[in-house]
């Protein structure tokens, strides 16, 4: 079937046939951002060519069309992730802004001195810093669930929930380790402890379909650019009953019902949280990405990604000095690793010369890197359009680096004259 064949789907992504440093591009930096299928690129371009207008002010036909297309994506996204209602979808710039929205609108008014916030050790900075900012202001305390090994100790999680945090902010999938966390079990425990849960889905939704009702969380945040859609757009899903209680966090046009100099009455959900002209083209592009994913056989693509992961681990495992940091029981198609005697940055640069795009560094997870006692790692992150050949090319790129360093080290004395 066409929609399940990664080699055919690959042709939908124009950038994947480019060359870098004279070599075919092997794009293994999908956790940073994913590439876009032609349908997404075309949707954005067609929107600007044919339908560009501001939304929600339909005094003319173009605006009515733009509004319809814009709101239709909200409905499609709601259906796709199992939201009860389209009002539960708030457009944001991405995961970071979605988490900030919850931190400032939901949590901040609830924090008192001594309140607690429960975070994960492997969290992306986007799921640490906003909470830390408001916790500091309120005199609240942050508890951290250790998970540097990739594994979650649910008993310990239960104990931390027992301290009564005002929120637990957890990750679906770690961007630095690739660990897939047992979010369903964690949400069930949190519900029993009456602790609201935010799930950072930035690395979850790109790999698997979700149903927010089934997960059992209260908030789910994600970014369009990691989901084969455009950058600058993402969403927060939240239960309607919770959103109803939340005050606006940014204000201006588009989010009001009535304004006078004495008072402003705010619009209903979800517009109350969407001040200003939204990223209309971004939403249209994201809609095309969602349609693309809905039309593909995601179960088959997931299996392909798992094959990529095991093949990459097997091939790279044969390279002397390769050490994978991945240790969780369930892994997304992402390998975070070290190469003995090599600085991660140097490995990244070397691979780049071979046309292989990876990321080297702390991956916006500095507390995790501290817990692991390393400054950073090399990360190769796969998407469904990557091939087994590309996984092998990664391993041979690493092998060549090792071979080359060995010949340099073992070069006869006096050879430095030639350097």
What is the smallest separation between the CB atom of 236 and ligand PMP, expressed in angstroms? 11
Q: Name the site residues for ligand PMP (rule: CB under 6 A).
A: 94-96, 124, 126-127, 171, 175, 200, 202-203, 223, 364
What is the smallest separation between the CB atom of 147 and ligand PMP, expressed in angstroms? 13
Q: By C-beta, is 228 or 322 nearer to ligand PMP?
A: 228
What is the smallest separation between the CB atom of 217 and ligand PMP, expressed in angstroms? 15
Residues 6+ apart with CB under 8 A from 11: none
**List 147, 315, 316, 364, catalytic entry:** 364
Q: How far apart are CA 130 and CA 124, in angstroms?
A: 11
Between β-strands 116-120 and 141-145, what pairing exists: parallel, antiparallel or unpaired? parallel
268 by Cβ neighbours in 10 Å (0-12 / 13-18 / 19+) ranks as: exposed
Cβ of 199: how many Cβ atoms within 10 Å?
28
User: Structure tokens of 309?
Assistant: 């992961």
Coil vs helix vs strand at 227: helix
What is the smallest separation between the CB atom of 177 and ligand PMP, expressed in angstroms? 10
Q: Can you list the positions of beta strands (E) in 122-162?
A: 141-145
147 is catalytic: no
Q: How far apart are CA 270 and CA 240, in angstroms?
A: 9
- Residue in 393, 357, 332 with CA at minimum distance from that of residue 28: 357
Q: Can you list the positions of beta strands (E) in 239-333?
A: 256-259, 264-266, 322-324
Give the chain's count of helices (H) and strands (E).
Answer: 14, 17
Q: By C-beta, is 115 or 171 nearer to ligand PMP?
A: 171
Q: By C-beta, is 94 or 287 nearer to ligand PMP?
A: 94
Coil vs helix vs strand at 310: helix
What is the smallest separation between the CB atom of 221 and ligand PMP, expressed in angstroms? 8
Q: By C-beta, is 73 or 236 nearer to ligand PMP?
A: 236
Q: By C-beta, is 116 or 124 nearer to ligand PMP?
A: 124
Q: By C-beta, is 175 or 377 nearer to ligand PMP?
A: 175
- Residue in 250, 373, 394, 371 with CA at minimum distance from that of residue 309: 394
Identify whether the C-beta of residue 19 lies closer than 8 Å to the C-beta of residue 352: no
Q: How far apart are CA 274 and CA 294, in angstroms?
A: 26
* Backbone phi and psi for residue 117, each to the nearest 5 degrees, phi listed first: -130, 130
User: Structure tokens of 396?
Assistant: 């041979």
What is the smallest separation between the CB atom of 27 and ligand PMP, expressed in angstroms? 16
What is the smallest separation between the CB atom of 364 and ligand PMP, expressed in angstroms? 6
Cβ of 7: how many Cβ atoms within 10 Å?
9
The DSSP bridge partners found for residue 90 are: 236
Between β-strands 256-259 and 167-171, what pairing exists: parallel, antiparallel or unpaired? unpaired
What is the smallest separation between the CB atom of 200 and ligand PMP, expressed in angstroms? 5
Q: By C-beta, is 202 or 210 nearer to ligand PMP?
A: 202
DSSP-derived letter for residue 42 is H
Q: By C-beta, is 311 or 359 nearer to ligand PMP?
A: 359
Q: Which residues are catalytic?
A: 364
């Amino acid at each position: 079937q066409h929609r399940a064949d990664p080699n055919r789907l690959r042709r939908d992504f124009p950038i994947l046939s480019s060359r870098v440093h004279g070599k075919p591009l092997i794009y293994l930096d999908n956790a940073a951002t994913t590439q876009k299928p032609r349908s997404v690129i075309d949707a954005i371009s067609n929107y600007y060519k044919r339908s560009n207008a501001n939304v929600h002010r339909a005094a003319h036909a173009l605006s009515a069309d733009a509004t319809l297309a814009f709101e239709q994506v909200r409905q499609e996204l709601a259906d796709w992730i199992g939201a009860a209602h389209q009002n539960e979808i708030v457009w944001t710039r991405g995961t970071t802004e979605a988490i900030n929205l919850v931190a400032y609108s939901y949590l901040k008014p609830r924090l008192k001195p001594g309140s607690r916030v429960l975070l994960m050790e492997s969290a992306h900075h986007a799921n640490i810093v906003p909470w830390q900012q408001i916790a500091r202001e309120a005199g609240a305390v942050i508890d951290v669930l250790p998970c540097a090994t990739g594994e979650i100790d649910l008993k310990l999680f239960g104990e931390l929930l027992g301290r009564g945090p005002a929120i637990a902010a957890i990750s679906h999938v770690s961007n630095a380790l690739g660990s897939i966390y047992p979010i369903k079990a964690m949400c069930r425990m949190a519900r029993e402890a009456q602790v609201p849960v935010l799930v950072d889905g930035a690395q979850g939704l790109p790999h698997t379909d979700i149903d927010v009702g089934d997960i059992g969380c209260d908030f789910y945040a994600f970014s369009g650019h990691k989901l084969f859609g455009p950058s600058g757009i993402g969403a927060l899903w939240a239960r309607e009953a919770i959103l109803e209680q939340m005050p606006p966090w940014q204000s201006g046009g588009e989010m009001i019902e009535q304004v006078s100099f004495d008072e402003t009455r705010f619009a209903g959900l979800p517009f109350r949280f969407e001040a200003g002209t939204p990223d209309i083209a971004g939403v249209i592009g994201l809609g095309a990405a969602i349609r693309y994913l809905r039309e593909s056989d995601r179960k088959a693509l997931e299996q392909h990604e798992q094959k990529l992961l095991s093949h990459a681990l097997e091939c790279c495992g044969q390279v002397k000095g390769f050490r994978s940091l991945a240790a969780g029981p369930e892994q997304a198609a992402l390998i975070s690793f070290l190469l003995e005697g090599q600085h991660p940055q140097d490995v990244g640069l070397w691979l780049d010369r071979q046309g292989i795009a990876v990321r080297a560094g702390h991956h916006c997870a500095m507390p995790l890197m501290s817990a692991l006692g390393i400054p950073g790692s090399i990360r190769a992150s796969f998407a469904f359009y990557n091939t087994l050949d590309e996984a092998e090319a990664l391993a041979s790129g690493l092998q060549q680096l090792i071979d080359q360093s060995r010949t340099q080290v073992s070069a006869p004395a006096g050879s430095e004259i030639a350097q």
